[in-house]
Chain A
Amino acid sequence: QVQLQESGPGLVKPSETLSLTCTVSGGSVSGYYWTWIRQPPGKEPEWLGYMLDSENIMYNPSLKGRATISVDSSKNQFSLKLKSVTAADTAVYYCARYGGNVRGFDPWGQGTLVAVSS
C-alpha cells in the first residue's frame, strides 16, 4: 500500500522560497503523476501542479511561474518549490498521487501546515 509523507519547514518568511518534499513508500514513483495540492484554512483545496516526468509537468496558472515540481527517483521522493511567497501562500500542503487505474488524487499525504510570516 502506497503511503506519502510531506516534510519541510512549517514557517517561511515573506519573499522567500517554500520547499517541501514528499517521500513515497510502498511503491515506485515511476508511471504516476506526482501532485501538490494546498488548502488554506477554511477553504477548498487548490491544485498546484503535477509531474509525470521531465516532459510532462503542469502547473496551476494562478501561481504565475513561481512553482517548480521535481522528482528524484533514486530517493523515491518528489518536491515542491514555491518562490516569492506571501501570506496568501499560508496553507496545509498535501502531496498526492494521480494516475494508473484510478484517475483521481489518491492516496494523499497527511499534509503539512506552512505559514508565511516574518
Chain B
Amino acid sequence: QSALTQLASVSGSPGQSITISCTGTSRDVGGYNYVAWYQQHPGKVPKLMIYDVTNRPSGASNRFSGSKSGNTASLTISGLQAEDEADYYCSSYTSSGTWVFGGGTRLTVL
C-alpha cells in the first residue's frame, strides 16, 4: 500500500492560518470518513489532533480543524503559534481493512 501524499513542508507567520493537504485514492481517503491527523514534535510521540475527518479529541486545540473533499483531506490550523511548529501526518483507513499514513508535512512558524 502506498503512503498518502503530503507536501514536504509548509510555513506561516504567527496569527495566520495554514492548510495541510493529504491526497489518497477512492480506496482510502475518498472511500471512508476515517481520516486522522497527528502532530509530532521532534523526538516526541505523535499526538492525535483530528479523527473521523473533522472530530477533535479532548486535549486537542480548537484551532485545529479537518475537512475532506473527494480523495483529499485537509488540516487547517488557525491563529498559528510557535508551538504549532512540528511534523504533521495524516492517516486513513483503507479498503483492505488496513491503515496507511502520509509522508508527513513539516510546518515552520516564521
Write out the residue numbers on chain B whose beta carbons fall within 8 Å of the beta carbon of A62.
1
Write out the residue numbers on chain B whose beta carbons fall within 8 Å of the beta carbon of A103.
34, 36, 51-52
Stretch at the interface among B9-17, B77-85, B89-97: B89-97
Please judge, given known A-B contacts A45-B46, A47-B98, A110-B45, whether A60 and B89 are in contact too, CB under 8 Å. no
Contact B48 A104 (CB under 8 A): yes
The chain A residue sitting closest to B103, CB to CB, is A44
Contact B45 A94 (CB under 8 A): yes
Contact B46 A102 (CB under 8 A): no
Write out the residue numbers on chain A whose beta carbons fall within 8 Å of the beta carbon of B38.
45, 104-105
Contact A61 B98 (CB under 8 A): yes
Please judge, given known A-B contacts A62-B1, A103-B36, A104-B36, whether A47 and B99 are in contact too, CB under 8 Å. yes
Contact B51 A102 (CB under 8 A): yes
Closest chain-A Cβ to B41's Cβ sits at a distance in Å of: 13
The chain B residue sitting closest to A109, CB to CB, is B45
How far is A16 from B64 in the complex, measured between Cα atoms in Å?
43
Contact A44 B89 (CB under 8 A): yes
Question: B-facing mask of A104-118, CB < 8 A → 1, else 0?
Answer: 111011110000000
How far is A72 from B49 in the complex, measured between Cα atoms in Å?
29
How far is A44 from B40 in the complex, measured between Cα atoms in Å?
10
What 6 A-B pairs are tightest by C-beta distance, nearest first? A104-B51, A104-B36, A106-B48, A47-B99, A104-B48, A44-B104
Given pairs A45-B89, A104-B48, 5 additional interface contacts (CB within 8 A): A46-B101, A61-B98, A94-B45, A94-B46, A102-B55
